[in-house]
Chains A and B, each alone.
Chain A
Amino acid sequence: MIGLLVAAPLLGAALLLLGGRRLDRVGHWLGLAASAASLVFALVLFTDLLGKDGEERSLHQHLFSWVPVADFRADVAFQLDQLSMTFVLLITSVGTLIHLYSVGYMEHDERRRRFFGYLNLFLAAMLLLVLADNYLLLYVGWEGVGLASYLLIGFWQHKPSAATAAKKAFVVNRVGDVGLSLAILLMFTTFGSFSFTHVFAGVDGASEATLTGIGLMLLLAACGKSAQVPLQSWLGDAMEGPTPVSALIHAATMVTAGVYLVTRSGVVFDAAPDAQTVVITVGAVTLLFGAIVGCAKDDIKKALAGSTMSQIGYMMLAAGLGPLGYVFAIMHLVTHGFFKAGLFLGAGSVMHGMNDEVDMRRYGGLRKHMPITFATFGLAYLAIIGFPYLSGFFSKDEIIYAGFAKGGNEGWLLGGVMLLGAALTAYYMTRIMLMTFFGEKRWQPDEAGHEPHPHESPLVMTVPMLILAVGSVAAGFVFDSGERFVKWLEPVTGLAHGDSPVSHGEVSIAATVVMLLGVGGAYLQYGRREVPAVAPAGRLLTRAARRDLLQDDFNHVAFVQTGNYLTRGLVYLDHKLVDGMVNGTAAAFGGLSGRLRRVQNGFARSYAVSMFGGTALLVAATLLMRAV
């Protein structure tokens, strides 16, 4: 049954990608059906799990032995526990909604069948990742996610920018993948196994240094997939993909993989405090980094991308807090899945009506033309900024509280950073909201000269948005009431309460206050005043933020140029030293050969002399050997 979860979308992908043109007309429905089937299996399994007690909610399925060599065992086996189940539900539900939405969004694309094939592949890989019961199989899913994201980001490959963005995402992810493979190799040498059970059971016997090494390598992997500093640079460019892809990457798959990896490996991190500190630092830095970038972007999708980076930063930070934060990291991940998918699908809907325009300075006043999009986007907006009693409010406040609960100066610092992040979130989200849906219309004709005629999107697109809006509003309340989510996940991740200097209520009030400050600031800047159609020069920080805080410039100088110099140096050495030695040897032998062949002059008499001399030498040497 667990295998079917992965098999359904995998089969869909195989059919769609190998089926050829015959499936062009029904391909999208087939893809949707595969995803929906997976969702149904997930729901069945979920009810099955709910029927059991907390400790027994872990199912295993052993499919076959993959690589049995002597003592080495790598199995294809699945593990479904509460953590996996949470992810499976999120992936299949949001994924299915995005499939449905794509039916409308990609209606006019010639390669729609292929697109759905890739979407299915993405789901299959992500499900494999979260269901694997060992790190090696997880790695297969991990790479599958990387492949599918490459294919989807570069889906419009005729655009050079899309092709480059896909390549960038792939390359940056490979850096992380190296981390994961190193971590797996380290685990194998330390524990002699890849399976979660064996690795976690062996943690007690391993040295802290090894565990820290494993933890840092896992974190590197997580940074790559979850776009955390310093491997964040691919995320913004990945907006070149079709908008449903952005929604899928940001909400249900891909970026959540890093959080899953850290949470799943919690046992390792708990035993390696240094690695945990690094995780927290990465989360905190990314949280602010993403938020600042999000404040400066005029491209609606890139602004949302900055927001994703920032929100994943929250989750990463929470995961770094250990049992204090695991549950809330996952809870925020799920609520974020709903409202971020809603936001992206909303953005896609806006673009759909505006001739694929993405510059928010050319939007304005769209609320009257796209009422449903406005409403759903608005609800998701309220959720993400943490408007009281919407889903973001619960999950984010819990994380901020967990930060304070870390205790001491560290706790104050983390809490402060997260509150600052919350203010920034409110600011940039309000900015998006105001620039897009309020104010005067600043529409401009596209390059072909078509005037935009904004209109509401068709039902296949608005229905998923409506469903996601419901999730954005209600998920937090449902999870929080009676601490349902905490109780559900606690058996897997553990839970600690820590010693917070401030109470839950105080955190909520503080978060609400900073949220209002952020909203107010944005209103003063973009609601009261006219939004200029051309971006003002801006101050230093603004300009830097527009350039993604110089991430690409940094990478260019630090890696591309250095790499170039290194390559050139190596090429030079190769030419001069290695080739020089090789060619020199060859030339030496060639010269020797040319000289020696002159002895072969064709005269029988000289040959006879050589033979005579040779014999004399032979005799002399033999006699000499006897003499000595």
Chain B
Amino acid sequence: MNPGDLQAPDIEWVALSPSLVVFAAAVVGVLIEAFAPRSARYAAEVVVSSVGLAGAFAAVVALAANGHGTSKSQIAGMGSLAVDGPALFLQGVTVLVGLVSVFLFAERRLEPVAHGARVDSFAAQPAAVPGGKAEQEAVRAGHTTTEIFPLLLFAVGGMLLFPAANDLLVLFIALEILSLPLYLLCALARRRRLLSQESAVKYFLLGAFASAFLLFGVALLYGYAGTTSYAGIADVISGEPSHMEPGLASTMGNDALLLIGGAMVLMGLLFKVGAVPFHMWTPDVYQGAPTPVTGFMASATKVAAFGAMLRLMYVVLPGLQWDWEPVMWGVAIASMVAGAVIAITQTDVKRLLAYSSIAHAGFILSGVVAVSEDGVSSVLFYLGAYSFVTLGAFAVVTLVRDAGGEATHLSKWAGLGRRSPLLAAVFALFLLAFAGIPLTSGFASKFAVFSAVAQSGGMGLVIVGVLASAVAAFFYIRVIVLMFFSEPRPDGPSVVIPSPLTMSVVGVAAAATVVLGVAPQYFLDLADQAGVFVR
């Protein structure tokens, strides 16, 4: 091959600007880690991350305002990435969640001052043995892990690519970009280090396992279609292959490859959203990871993974609707029921929220199964609403502390409403939103999803969903009862007054919960407009 044959790739810089800005910021972050003096890193990283994410959000808004989400939606990057309504909507949500998470990561007023320096929720020197000599020296020297900010940015970058991926290989790469930083972040807790490291290893092992399945699925689909591009596979499924790959003549068009490969790719995504039976990592990882990371991961990963799943379902596999729909029904029902039921007996607030997220994965899956434009827009709305509630809830969890760090055992939350009525009220608001009580965003989103499902003939799914919601309401409200109607324990935790960073996170999340609950129409319309995929 002559060098002259290599064509420079044709990149639509503007259309891809959101992810490019985030990745650029991440690279700058790495450079800061390498060259800036230790004392200046924290401030520089916070500024670079915030500006980068804010810039990315501005880029998303500008693209949407220019009609890239509707009339001018396109496939960019030589067929690798889609720039359309769902992609832009979910990218906007992800960037916002990332931005708010930066604040949560940057919080330095919760932990007691160590040797005259304010510290955050992350280990001083992650490589050191917990409690060992090196660790103590690092604490004394005032080391902090400012690498979390570039890691966060890389994860966000991957999440921006994930729902936009228009090619199976890009999908896989995006998955790895978003996953690897998350594995690392999970291991960085300052308190209960072993639990945190255990969770990271589990997440990594199981994540690798799932990635392997996904990759295998990609291979099978390539064998089936002779291409990894979404449009190309869709063409083969509908019986109009654009070209025949001579080396694959024996396998192309073999439906078994398609079905098995499709199921395996789907499994990789179901793992990421934490749907039953691929959910087992969720409680352990949610519990072990530093709470700010849990909050970020629980909301942003779901947004990205469901986005990727929607595109896969609507662009690649619509011809196979009758094959995968019953299976997805089963997964959705199992997730709703198992999540809600197992949550009943949980005693740790982070595990409780983990199981709640499994149940919610089921609710969102029902919306994915409703193959209609209403289904898409309801899922988009649900993801936007849900991610802020989740972030807010985990932000509250970081504030309730005793001598051992965060007091996550539920028994310690007894009577919290009498000690800190405002905080308990905000947490109650988030719980009510999780439960789907009217005037919260949870109600609007559940209503949108269930009505879309019902319209597409999924009444059975709706009934199971509503019943599961009823079961789920029990444990949400049990926490509210515990907070407001139980006697506080004498050795109970205290609520730390955080810096404006966490306060703004809680405030933004609460505001989003109320606004999306009281006046959801504008955002529903927005999601409606964004509900069309480019092919």
Residue ranges of A at the interface with B (Cβ–Cβ < 8 Å): 586, 589-590, 592-594, 596-597, 599-600, 602, 604, 606-608, 610-611, 613-615, 617-619, 621-623, 625-626
Contacts and interface: CB of A to CB of B under 8 A. Distances in A.
Interface in B319-377: 322-324, 326-327, 330-331, 338, 341-346
B343 to A, nearest CB: 7
B260 interface: yes
Given A615-B264, A623-B260, A625-B323, A600 B280 contact: yes
Contacts of A602: 284
Contacts of B255: 626
Interface in B231-273: 255-256, 259-260, 262-264, 266-267, 271
Contacts of B283: 600
Given A593-B344, A596-B341, A597-B342, A607 B267 contact: no
Interface stretch (B79-87, B109-117, B165-173, B205-213): B205-213
B213 A615 contact: yes
B341 A615 contact: no
A594 B342 CA distance: 7
A596 B338 contact: yes
Contact of B202 (A594, A597, A607, A615): A607
B280 A607 contact: yes
B267 to A, nearest CB: 5
A608 B284 CA distance: 14
Contacts of A626: 255, 259, 323
Given A604-B202, A622-B263, A623-B259, 7 more contacts: A593-B341, A594-B345, A608-B209, A611-B213, A611-B271, A617-B277, A619-B259
B210 A622 contact: no
Given A600-B280, A608-B205, A618-B263, A586 B474 contact: yes
B271 A597 contact: no
B201 interface: yes
Contacts of A596: 338, 341-342
25 contacts: A589-B341, A589-B474, A590-B344, A590-B345, A592-B341, A593-B343, A593-B344, A597-B345, A597-B346, A600-B280, A604-B202, A607-B206, A610-B277, A611-B210, A611-B267, A611-B271, A611-B280, A613-B277, A615-B213, A618-B266, A619-B259, A621-B326, A621-B330, A626-B255, A626-B259
Nearest to A592: B341
Contacts of A599: 280
B513 to A, nearest CB: 27
Contacts of A597: 342, 345-346
B341 to A, nearest CB: 5
Nearest to B325: A625
A59 to B, nearest CB: 50
Contacts of B471: 589
Given A594-B345, A596-B341, A623-B259, A618 B202 contact: no
A266 B517 CA distance: 55
B342 A600 contact: yes
Contacts of B330: 621
Interface string B197-220: 000011001100110010000000
B209 A614 contact: no
Contacts of A625: 322-324, 326-327
Nearest to A606: B280
A619 B277 contact: no
A600 to B, nearest CB: 6
Given A600-B283, A622-B324, A614 B267 contact: yes
A574 B343 CA distance: 28
A458 B132 CA distance: 101
A611 B277 contact: yes
A221 to B, nearest CB: 39
Contact of B205 (A604, A613, A621): A604
Contacts of B201: 604
B306 interface: no
A604 B259 contact: no
Name which of B278, B281, B345 has the most chain A CB atoms within 10 A of its CB.
B345
Contacts of B326: 621, 625
A590 B210 CA distance: 31
A525 B115 CA distance: 107
B342 A593 contact: yes
Contacts of B344: 589-590, 593
A553 to B, nearest CB: 45
A12 to B, nearest CB: 44
Contacts of A594: 345
A593 B345 contact: yes
A126 B284 CA distance: 72
A613 to B, nearest CB: 7
Contacts of A623: 256, 259-260
Contacts of A604: 201-202, 205-206
Given A604-B206, A611-B210, A621 B341 contact: no
Name which of B280, B343, B345 has the most chain A CB atoms within 10 A of its CB.
B280
B526 to A, nearest CB: 33
A611 B344 CA distance: 23
Nearest to B213: A615
A127 B280 CA distance: 75
B262 A622 contact: yes
Contacts of A610: 277-278, 280
B264 to A, nearest CB: 7
Contact of B263 (A589, A600, A611, A615): A615
B278 A611 contact: yes
Nearest to B208: A608
Contacts of B284: 600, 602
A264 B278 CA distance: 76
Contacts of B205: 604, 608
B327 A611 contact: no
Interface string B180-206: 000000000000000000000110011
Contacts of B260: 619, 622-623
Contacts of B267: 611, 614-615, 618
Task: Give the top 8 A-B pairs by smallest Cβ distance, nearest first.
Answer: A614-B277, A607-B280, A593-B344, A593-B345, A619-B263, A618-B263, A621-B327, A615-B267
Contacts of B209: 608, 611
Nearest to B471: A589
Contacts of A622: 259-260, 262-263, 323-324, 327
Interface string B462-485: 000000000100100000000000
Contacts of A614: 267, 276-278
A50 B418 CA distance: 71
A618 B345 contact: no
